[in-house]
Amino acid sequence: MEKPLTSPRRSFTGVRLSDRRGLSPQRGEGLWSFILALGLMVALWPIAMTYMGRAADLEAAAASAFHATQIGQARDSYVKDNYAAILASAASGPVSISTPMLKNSGYLDAGISDTNIQNQTYQTRAIRVTVGGEELLRVLTVTSGGEPFTEAQVRSIANKIAQIGGGYVSSTNTAVAEGAQGSYRVALSDYGLAPGAGHIAIGGFFNARGVLGDYLYRNAIPNHPELNQMNTALSLGGNAINSVSSLTASGAITTAGDVQGRDLLAARNINAQGNVAATGTVSAATVSASTSIVSAGSVNATGTVGGGYLQPVNFATEGYSCGTTGLIARSSTGAVLSCTNGLWRRSTSEFEYGGVFSYFYKTGQCPVPNRYTGGCSCPSGYAGTAMAQWTEGSGLTLYVCER
């Protein structure tokens, strides 16, 4: 008898039970691996985008700096060759120098774009100034229009073109153009320019001899002391400064090493937190020490040496010979000895007490012994002096030891 046809049983998921039993563990592990990898990609994507953005900013800054360098160099050559004409024209106001002018006169290659990667164009103005009785041209080139660079980008570009007077217009003050690392600061209104923040600037000074860049000159330029003057801190990168004639500072001089020199002249105080060592003579009007003064040799004074106590360190023996008259020492017991006529002697007015005792001659007893010797005797080096005697009936005598 044939079995009736029936539909295969299905679970609530719609998958045949036989099919579910057929799922392999490998397929499940692969699914979880895919989900984990996808999660890591989502988590790391913002970081990757940040680094990609920074890399793009660096590339944009490098390309813009190269383009600005070409414009700036062409401008400098044009101004130097046409200095007299520009100076005369600038007597009545700022003189404009456009990118097409540089191309038409052969100073800038015709294939170079008039705009940078932000679609900014270049504007150049020259103004006439008098410094130290000499008439100069002060020239400023700025980009305008287009999309502004970020503050970080425009500062980076300025640093890359610092050798030709690179600068920028900052978002913190759009009224001035600032040179890289603060090398210059000029008001844009002097040139009739107002490019706004995020734009490149290229500054320069010119006289009849050529360009006077915003960097330090080795030699003196007549009537231009500012060209031999730093406008910011100077870092030597760990290198030495040699052959200095004289060094003048208005502030503190800080050094991590030793300061060596032939002579040191200080108009005010010298404060040392450590030791001051000198192999020669230290001369001063007054030497004040809060603790001790230690000397391996002699301490000489033409005046009075005063203090709380005088403690001779060297020992001497009374009656022994000595070399220099007037020396002072002390005995083993602390008595003061002086070198007198070649011998160590005690002061004649000095009295040194050695105890007291009483002796009973009649019986030979010692009713009051000397506390230093324990008997009726004086310590070594001391002599007993009879101070009182009772001879009638007892023969008792009181002695005092001294030397």
pLDDT value, residue 362: 79
pLDDT (0 to 100) of residue 49: 52
pLDDT in tens, the chain (403 residues): 444 444 444 443 444 434 444 445 555 566 667 676 666 666 655 654 554 455 556 677 888 999 999 999 999 999 998 998 999 999 999 999 999 999 999 999 999 999 999 999 999 999 998 877 778 899 999 999 999 999 999 999 999 999 899 999 999 999 999 999 888 999 999 999 999 999 999 998 887 665 555 555 555 654 456 566 676 677 777 788 888 877 788 777 888 777 777 777 777 777 777 777 777 777 777 777 777 777 777 777 777 777 777 777 788 887 788 988 888 888 888 888 888 878 787 765 556 778 899 988 778 889 899 998 999 999 988 888 888 777 655 678 888 898 7
Q: Is 263 helix (H, G, I), strand (E, B) or coil?
A: coil
Rounded-to-10 torsion of CA 192, 193, 194, 197: -150
What's the pLDDT at 47? 59
Q: What is the pLDDT of residue 29?
A: 60
Which residue from 128, 115, 138 is spatially nearest to 200, judged by alpha carbons? 115
CB 200 within 8 A of CB 166: yes
The pLDDT, as a whole number, for residue 352 is 73
* Closest CA relative to residue 75, chosen from 144, 141, 166, 169: 141
Q: For residue 8, what is the DSSP state?
A: P
Q: Measure the CA angle with vertex 70, ends 107 and 126; round to 5°.
A: 65
CA distance linking residue 281 with residue 79, whole number of Å:
64
| pLDDT, position 318 | 77
Q: Please state the pTM of the whole predicted model.
A: 0.45
The DSSP element (H or E) to which 33 belongs, if any, is: helix 25-81
Q: What is the side-by-side order of every strand in the sheet holding 396-402? A: 365-368, 353-360, 396-402, 383-390
Strands (E), 82-120: 95-97
pLDDT at residue 178, rounded to an integer: 94
Pairing assessment for the beta strands 328-330 and 336-340 based on DSSP bridges:
antiparallel
The 10 Å Cβ neighbour count of residue 62 is 13
Contact 129, 135 (CB under 8 A): yes
Predicted confidence at residue 369, as pLDDT, reads 93
Which 3-state string (H, E, C) describes 128-194?
A: EEEECCEEEEEEEEEEECCCCCCHHHHHHHHHHCHHHCEEEEECCEEEEEEEHHHCCEEEHHHHCCC
How is the chain split into domains, by residue range? 45-206, 312-350, 353-402
The CA distance from 227 to 187, in Å, is: 20
* Residues 162 and 180: beta-carbon distance below 8 Å: yes
Rounded distance, CA 388 to CA 376, Å?
15
The pairing of strands 396-402 and 353-360 is antiparallel
pLDDT of residue 142: 98
